[in-house]
A and B are shown apart, each in its own frame.
Chain A
Amino acid sequence: MVRDFSSTGQKNDCVSRFCPPRKSCHDWIGPPDKHSNLRPVHFHVPEDESAAEQKLRELRQETQEWNQQFWANQNVTFRKEKEEFIHSRLKAKGLGLRTESGQKATLNAEEMADFYKEFLSKNFQKHMHYNRDWYKRNFAITFFMGRVALERVWNKLRPKQKTSS
């Protein structure tokens, strides 16, 4: 994977730019993404990948992208709306965005509580759908992992049976 020195934008696709050592046959996990806080995984594709293994890998890859999108959007929206809330409240109180000492003006805990409550209730349906989908995916991934593990154990045992008979 050739690195492009001219690119300056360090986007969320650090997974695609990461290249594990050739000798490694495991997945690699990276640092938390700055928007979604989720750690990207670079999935290893073995040469003798079975159909079940491929299905598992693709499901994990797709879930990772889906999760990344949801949480990046969630966190960015939260921060943006929080800033807007602070600005509007400060404006309503007739205060500037900075205090006399030059620090960024903030609201106290009670005032912020209004925002936290509002954000939670506004996004309730979105969270419900996300929860449901996350649980389904998590169970599916774990189930397929179990299936793949059993398959591997079975394949290891089978040649031994052949030689013994």
Chain B
Amino acid sequence: MAKKICVTYSDHLEDPPRELDMEAAWNASKQWVTFQHFTFLKRMYVTQLNRSLRQQIKPKSEPVASPFLEKSSSSQAKTEVYEMKPFAPSTLSLPRKPNETELIELESASIIEGSVDVGKETKDEKQWKEMKLHVDDLPGILARLSKIKLTALVVSTTSAGFALAPGPFDLSCFLLTSVGTGLASCAANSINQFFEVPFDSNMNRTKNRPLVRGQISPLLAVTFAACCAVPGVALLTWGVNPLTGALGLFNIFLYTCCYTPLKRVSIANTWVGAVVGAIPPVMGWTAATGSLDAGAFLLGGILYSWQFPHFNALSWGLREDYSRGGYCMMSVTHPAPALGVTTWTFPVIALPINLYISYLGFRFYRDADRKSSRKLFFCSLWHLPLLLLLMLTCKRRGADRDSGEPQS
């Protein structure tokens, strides 16, 4: 006969679990219907260990860490530790009468079934989280909302543009430009996420973003974006120069109001996105020089070209998600011809980069001064990694094509 243990549930169960006799246990079984109330109120976990129904409640005397502190994805959240203490069968007093035994078996069968359902539903219920914002979690949430790593990359391209520009290096101007650009980028990224919640939910790459997980409300996201955009653009306009400020504002607009909606309308979004990526180094240049000249356009042009292999490499692996989500990406709409193009795009894209570093090298050779040496040095920092990335991109796509050909 299956040995079965039931325990009573109460709102204020602080004591350790008690062993009960079977009579009290039958009363307890009738309280299964209100089980769900207690589950949440005291965060008790009932686990079922195979079919022998050794059940244990582990009362938690203090609340677990706030759900929003979980950095892990929802799937990882399911793996919670259960402390299991098997009940010693000798502690139970079982009825001796045969007819009562039959009754016990019947009831135990139904409760097994019920407990399986409850087990599943408890598991589902545990994944429900209260939408309450904890101040401790806010920095992490905002960092993810503003795509802080991407922002850091954008700021670094702006710094590169600033450093490459002719003229004396002004540290305060440099810092103001970096901070201003960083704030503008945070604002743009937050608005992008605000627009894309249901699409992000459906793509593996983006399904753990803060708005998707409900860690922050849309209102707060928009407020945060405004609180970044306004000081950011103001800093650039009045702290640096109006041209840089205008470029910053234009870039925010381009990214949020052009690129983001265009992603679902036309493949032209990639070209717009490339411009968005090219503007920050141009901003660095205009911050240092105060004007848009040939050097700014050359730098912008290089980064504009770079965006294509960068983005196409990223989007190649996401074609299924993009197609299902309704995104118009070249990797989905023009797959086969794109593969054939990579072999000659590499030298084409690499050419301006190589020309530029050659030009700087020539200038250094001719001038042999601190200014030209510094420029050449900074160029060399990104020149090689950039070329390697380009080569890697082309090679990977070539390899895909090879593996796609049927074995003859």
**A, B from the same assembly:** yes
The chain A residues found within 8 Å of chain B, CB to CB, are: 1-3, 5, 10, 14, 17-24, 26-32, 36-39, 41-42, 67, 71, 74-75, 78, 108-113, 115-117, 119-121, 123-124, 127-128, 130-131, 134-135, 138, 141-142, 145-146, 149
CB atoms of A135 and B117 under 8 A apart: no
With A32-B74, A120-B333 known to touch, is A110 a contact of B404 (CB < 8 Å)? Answer: yes
| Assembled-state Cα–Cα distance A1/B40 (Å) | 14
In the complex, the chain B residue whose C-beta lies closest to that of A38 is: B201
CB distance from B306 to the nearest CB of A (A): 25
- Is B113 an interface residue, CB under 8 A from the partner? yes
CB atoms of A32 and B207 under 8 A apart: yes
CB atoms of B41 and A21 under 8 A apart: yes
Q: Which residues of B contact A29 (CB under 8 A)?
A: 128-129, 131, 213-214
| Assembled-state Cα–Cα distance A15/B224 (Å) | 30
- Is B332 an interface residue, CB under 8 A from the partner? yes
- Is B25 an interface residue, CB under 8 A from the partner? no
Give the interface size class of chain B: 35 or more
A–B pairs, 15, beta carbons within 8 Å: A3-B118, A5-B118, A22-B41, A26-B130, A31-B128, A113-B335, A116-B320, A117-B323, A120-B328, A120-B332, A121-B333, A130-B326, A138-B194, A142-B194, A145-B218
| Assembled-state Cα–Cα distance A119/B329 (Å) | 13
Q: Which residues of B contact A24 (CB under 8 A)?
A: 130
In the complex, the chain B residue whose C-beta lies closest to that of A68 is: B198
Complex interface bits, B46-85 against A, C-beta within 8 A gives 1, otherwise 0? 0000000000000000000000000000100000000000
CB atoms of B132 and A26 under 8 A apart: yes
Q: Which residues of B contact A32 (CB under 8 A)?
A: 74, 201, 207
Q: Which residues of B contact A124 (CB under 8 A)?
A: 326
Chain B residues 261-297 with CB under 8 Å of chain A are 261, 264-265
In the complex, the chain A residue whose C-beta lies closest to that of B212 is: A39
| Assembled-state Cα–Cα distance A24/B40 (Å) | 10
Instruction: Among B40, B213, B265, find the residue whose CB has the most chain A CB atoms closer than 10 A.
Output: B40
With A31-B127, A113-B335 known to touch, is A22 a contact of B201 (CB < 8 Å)? Answer: no
Complex interface bits, B107-123 against A, C-beta within 8 A gives 1, otherwise 0? 00010011001101100
CB atoms of A119 and B323 under 8 A apart: yes
CB distance from B347 to the nearest CB of A (A): 25
CB atoms of A127 and B323 under 8 A apart: no
A-B pairs with CB below 8 Å: how many? Answer: 151
Partner of A123, one of B118, B212, B326, B400: B326
CB distance from B29 to the nearest CB of A (A): 12
Q: Which residues of A contact B113 (CB under 8 A)?
A: 5
In the complex, the chain A residue whose C-beta lies closest to that of B38 is: A21
CB atoms of B36 and A3 under 8 A apart: yes
Complex interface bits, B322-358 against A, C-beta within 8 A gives 1, otherwise 0? 1110111000110110000000000000000000000
Q: Which residues of B contact A37 (CB under 8 A)?
A: 201-202, 207
CB distance from A131 to the nearest CB of B (A): 5
CB distance from B12 to the nearest CB of A (A): 13
Closest 10 A/B residue pairs (Cβ): A116-B323, A29-B214, A113-B335, A127-B326, A31-B127, A145-B219, A21-B40, A27-B131, A110-B404, A108-B404
Chain B residues 22-37 with CB under 8 Å of chain A are 32-33, 35-37
- Is B222 an interface residue, CB under 8 A from the partner? yes
CB atoms of B40 and A26 under 8 A apart: no
With A39-B201, A41-B131, A117-B333 known to touch, is A31 a contact of B74 (CB < 8 Å)? Answer: yes
Q: Which residues of B contact A20 (CB under 8 A)?
A: 40, 128, 130
- Is B19 an interface residue, CB under 8 A from the partner? no
With A29-B213, A30-B127 known to touch, is A75 a contact of B324 (CB < 8 Å)? Answer: yes
Chain B residues 171-218 with CB under 8 Å of chain A are 194-195, 197-198, 201-202, 207, 212-214, 217-218
Chain B residues 389-408 with CB under 8 Å of chain A are 400-401, 403-404, 406
CB distance from A61 to the nearest CB of B (A): 14
- Is B124 an interface residue, CB under 8 A from the partner? yes
Partner of A78, one of B324, B401, B404, B406: B324
List 5 other contacts, CB 8 Å, given A26-B130, A29-B129, A38-B202. Answer: A32-B201, A116-B332, A119-B324, A120-B327, A141-B218
CB atoms of B33 and A3 under 8 A apart: yes
In the complex, the chain A residue whose C-beta lies closest to that of B110 is: A5
Instruction: Among B127, B198, B201, B212, find the residue whose CB has the most chain A CB atoms closer than 10 A.
Output: B198
CB atoms of A3 and B121 under 8 A apart: yes
| Assembled-state Cα–Cα distance A2/B403 (Å) | 56
Q: Which residues of A contact B33 (CB under 8 A)?
A: 2-3
CB atoms of A75 and B36 under 8 A apart: no
Q: Which residues of A contact B128 (CB under 8 A)?
A: 18, 20, 28-31, 42
Q: Which residues of A contact B404 (CB under 8 A)?
A: 108-111
CB atoms of B332 and A113 under 8 A apart: yes
| Assembled-state Cα–Cα distance A19/B117 (Å) | 16
With A14-B124, A120-B328, A146-B219 known to touch, is A3 a contact of B333 (CB < 8 Å)? Answer: no
